[in-house]
Structure 1
């Protein structure tokens, strides 16, 4: 029987994290680095990824690199994977966390914004998984998709004051697709011993939102069972579980890290 220290050990593994230099992505990368994994941090902002990769190496002593990659471009993904193969030789963990989009209500969203959001939030996840799967087949690896509470529950329109704060319909639709894609792939990739799971974060507003609109943060906190919004550290336990052998008997699952948001 393995001890917990062995089950949560990622030494010698390589993790590929899209959006890894973002608000929640940094906590994901820190978790994997703390457990011993080498890191590839990727996004369209190559400079930001490289800067954070240096921070990871300095703080955790693992090898980390930052690369520029656009998840909506298959050619860009292929180029990034070629670089990863040259640097590390293999990929053991894929975390899909990259996201960008505009705030919108149903009334304000344009067709262009809808198409952009679906392309980034859903198509980009599919493209990245599709291109990375041959590497994960070799390593019998793990895929972790970052979904959202709004992939399985609806936003409460009363919380939002206009388009500036609203959660767009495209976001929830895409994240619901990510949750279903997770379940689908858990079935169809199991023959390759690849496990696929998801995390659905609850309210994790950017710190600047609390500065600009403390009333909104209070609304989110009052609605939630635990009485507060999430901070990046709140994700680390679920990430550690789903990216290690501690969850070796789990696949196709969506863990809600939402402070109980979806319970009522």
Structure 2
């Protein structure tokens, strides 16, 4: 089989594997959103221990047709993600796949089976989705102090079952899971304190996350139009550690910028359009609760 055709099949299998973790996604690569891309990157990192950039996904997976084959190391990563040892095994699988040929002279009974079989499969699928949906719970994620919904982009959720972590998609500040006898969910955010909750079939909880005060102050500096420079400087000096390291990941996989405390503070003191487009994705603290590491995504 043509390698390009095999790669197209691999793209389909990547989508099917993604849908096993996110059953509510029923689209295709054309409708694959930026949030779906981030979820896929996280899944590949967790399951394969390898990284794929957002730019690579846009270049090779989001496109409808591929004119040339991507690098083999990337093909290996995707093949491992869908359950194979690598690209070579995946290609071998399709070489061994028997061809299915339908002839015009097939018996009438065979034609009837051919028509009825897809209908039976569809009925089984709908029955499965109905049974599965009975145990699905919708959990709202809120700010513990204001009781307002938390922006879905500011928090990540992970389902832990038998020591296996599976990312959960958060849509409109809500989590939907197929609750079992006891499901553990861990929620992490750069702006809120980490929280672990246990969900069961009978509960229908609302998860409240407690804001991290210093992280919220930092968020306010980055997103608001405060013009009192002296106040900013004094507050930043209090919440930022002397050995602060800030890494800003640039768009289109162009690399990373580094800032120390002085450089980053000067950037925060004066509000700007580029500052408001920065998205904090990780904050770490030292033993004195000062912020000593920040990772930012330049949007």
TM beyond 0.5? no
Per chain length, whose mean CA-contact separation is higher, i.e. which structure has more relative contact order (CA < 8 Å, sep 6+)?
Answer: 1
Q: Where is the helix percentage greater, Structure 1 or Structure 2? A: 1
Task: Give the TM-score of the pair, scaled to structure 1.
Answer: 0.27
Q: Where is the strand percentage greater, Structure 1 or Structure 2? A: 2
Q: Which protein has the larger Cα radius of gyration, Structure 1 or Structure 2?
A: 2
